[in-house]
Amino acid sequence: MKYYTCGPLGCWGVNTTDDIHFRLGVTPSFCQGTGWQQVAGKLSMIEVGTDGSVYGVSREGEVYRRDGITDINPLGTKWTQLYYKCYKFSHVSYDLNQIWLITKDGKTFQCEV
């Protein structure tokens, strides 16, 4: 994995070919997990907030949110593209209803979700 992030419902990773994976069986007392499940889509980086929300950035600089995440379905159901200004992004971070974005040319933005 080139990017790995964990939240309350599990861990997510992105490999060198931008494939997205979810780590099965991760708990606060068992971080090793039981295996990986590939999730549809391609992202260059991924981030999980403390509430379990998942956001990512594609190689093209587009920002995505994973929808449908619940305790019963921690993988969620689909990716939704978010539109922020006319920039291409390299990094996203999220927590407490705030999203932070870094553009490919180094500008930083903070937005409410």
Q: For residue 18, what are its two tokens?
A: 């931008």
What pLDDT is stored for residue 34 in this prediction? 79
Q: Would the pTM of this model clear 0.95, i.e. be above it?
A: no
- Phi and psi at residue 61, in whole multiples of 5°? 95, 15
Q: What integer pLDDT is reported at residue 111 of this predicted model?
A: 83
pLDDT at 64 over 80: yes
What count of Cα atoms within 13 Å lies in the side-chain half-sphere of residue 65? 17
67 or 84, which is more confident = 67
What pLDDT score does 8 carry?
Answer: 87
- For residues 92 and 57, the answer to whether their CB atoms sit within 8 Å is yes
In degrees, rounded to 5, the angle at the alpha carbon of residue 50 between the alpha carbons of residues 83 and 107 is 40
CB 12 within 8 A of CB 48: yes
pLDDT at 35: 82
pLDDT at 21 over 80: yes
Q: What is the pLDDT of residue 53?
A: 95
Contact by Cβ (8 Å): 38, 19: yes
Six token digits for residue 70: 């619940």
**Residue 9 banded pLDDT, cuts 50, 70, 90:** confident
